[in-house]
A and B are shown apart, each in its own frame.
Chain A
């Protein structure tokens, strides 16, 4: 008698646990698998024929040809508009910005067109488009290092994915491609080469990346680490730093529950509020500047939903453009120590 069905499934899932991919490879694998499944998906952006800004599309021209891996002029408003036009006719474009900062050249198309076409038309049409934005400070100064997600959070009609791990990146990319609405997919440049969170995380969380396709629903947070004393909400590079901070604090007797929202729109407020009800303390940290940042949105959402006031703090980048010199960059972008300080200030 062969192995029972359940055993096979277990073996395969254990295999997946050990399959290590970088975040970059996970995004690429999601795009390849989806493009093989659905001919209406195509890639469009600057220099993507040779891999684009960071190599996410490397090799895809050989696989899918230049008809589906479309190199554009340096013309962000132009090619985003083109992608929107193709999307409303039933195609599923994935747009790469070479750097996320260049999104501002296409703001009108994203904010006034992609976000609003469906609503203004009374629901006649949809805009299934994914916009990929490499973001985050990495020694390239103010116009190649912003985290801009907060800017888009107040635009109804746009969804924001902010993956932190290869597993999440693949599952969120597949969901984003199959969703019928615009998704801005933020990819932190410092995470491209990482294979997941280092440190003790919830043992139920997948460590590797399954080869088969899977979807992570937009609007479902991940509890990365369990703890009873304080809730920490973080995304992308700050999520990694928050886990490191939690490890240090654990040795000092403070157990932090670390939550990664994974998408900011839709936002899984319930998971955060449920955790805060248990811990009674909340720290929110992001790389985007503090003023007008999404930490404020989460703070007030929690405040509106709980019965008694609790201490809430945020740890964010200073309200300055991203500076170049490493000394200056690390002076304004929070590291593990600032997160630890922020958490301690809640007690």
Chain B
């Protein structure tokens, strides 16, 4: 995939998140929101290294993962607004967006929970001899969860085709990772499991893409899992209720100066993409997000009766007798 196409997806995420915030302030969003603004290069770099039938698991901050894996913005926004046309029919909301037909399981909002599940998705690929890869996204905070350690260990001992992506945005809600982990690079935890690791600039989409491409190729080739730590930063607080006053001003400013969109834009300029071309792309994406928001606002809420549906899958294998 070209850098320009990656830039398009990053812009799409940025505009979607700004629209989500806007819709929230206007009272359209029934719940809270966790914005991916600032971390766009991670989801885009990773997902651009994957195929449609590779399967990802997102986090409670999943809008970026969903866009990067190819889910249309209108189905994400409709889900955020709790509408019947949302990708989960209004049952999951912002924190659980996903569409298995695009290779994204419903996102999991329990920190670290998707890590062993991704290993299980990978186990199914291995058992069925399918050349596919599973990817689990999680934050820095998840690396202190038992599920992280149990999932990584199992993936390593069974050489499962899975790539673990740690989005190290430096904070678990308000808690700085340096206060809860005594190591500089969280990727070092891969050493304990005999797993390959990489540490990349999570705001540089090309760097993320290269690491993910290599890890996915090795996984597909039967050479087991990798842990990639992407150093990044969330531009906003943890959720809408968090003004993020715990972050030093200089830290925020230095990361804003390293905005992944700015970095990519300057790379594109160097590569000879004209300002007009980029402006056109940005206009296209703005129109896409506007119409997606319109779709979400205009969509019907789910019927009250549908609250009782989808607990059980009433289909089953044929029973004897």
Residues of A whose CB lies within 8 Å of any CB of B are: 38, 42, 67, 72-73, 75, 77-91, 108-109, 112-113, 117-126, 128, 156-157, 174-175, 177-181, 212-215, 217
Contacts and interface: CB of A to CB of B under 8 A. Distances in A.
Given A122-B87, A125-B106, A156-B311, A81 B120 contact: yes
A314 to B, nearest CB: 28
B106 A120 contact: yes
Contacts of A81: 113, 115-117, 119-120, 147, 150-151
Contact of A124 (B90, B100, B309, B316): B100
Given A81-B115, A112-B110, A178-B317, A120 B91 contact: yes
A82 B116 contact: yes
Given A77-B146, A81-B115, A81-B151, 8 more contacts: A73-B153, A81-B147, A82-B119, A82-B123, A113-B113, A123-B309, A124-B88, A126-B315
Given A85-B116, A109-B113, A118-B313, A78 B150 contact: yes
B32 to A, nearest CB: 16
- Of all A-B residue pairs in the complex, the 3 with the closest CB atoms, nearest first, are A85-B120, A81-B116, A78-B150
A6 to B, nearest CB: 17
Given A73-B157, A78-B154, A85-B134, A121 B105 contact: yes
A38 B124 CA distance: 15
B195 interface: no
Nearest to A68: B127
Contacts of B151: 78, 81-82
Interface in B245-261: none
Contacts of A113: 108, 110, 113, 117
Nearest to B155: A82
Interface of B: 55, 86-92, 96, 98-100, 105-106, 108, 110, 113, 115-125, 127-128, 134, 146-147, 150-151, 153-154, 157, 309-321
Contact of B96 (A42, A89, A121, A180): A121
B127 A91 contact: yes
Nearest to B157: A73
A87 to B, nearest CB: 7
B310 A123 contact: yes
A263 to B, nearest CB: 13
A90 B124 contact: yes
A103 to B, nearest CB: 15
20 contacts: A77-B146, A79-B116, A84-B116, A85-B117, A88-B105, A90-B124, A112-B108, A117-B106, A119-B310, A120-B88, A120-B92, A120-B96, A121-B91, A121-B100, A122-B86, A125-B100, A128-B313, A179-B317, A180-B316, A215-B320
Contact of A178 (B121, B128, B147, B316): B316
Nearest to A93: B120
B49 to A, nearest CB: 20
Task: Give the residue among A67, A91, A121 with the most B Cβ atoms within 10 A.
Answer: A121
A124 B92 CA distance: 11
A77 B146 CA distance: 8
A175 B89 contact: no
B124 A86 contact: yes
A179 B314 CA distance: 8
A118 B158 CA distance: 27
A179 B153 contact: no
Contacts of B118: 85
A79 B115 CA distance: 11
Given A77-B116, A124-B99, A181 B313 contact: yes
Nearest to B134: A85
A108 B147 contact: yes
Contacts of A125: 100, 105-106
Contacts of B313: 118, 123, 126, 128, 180-181
Contacts of B110: 108, 112-113
B212 to A, nearest CB: 20
B311 A119 contact: yes
Contacts of B91: 119-122
A122 B92 CA distance: 7
Given A78-B116, A156-B311, A179 B316 contact: yes
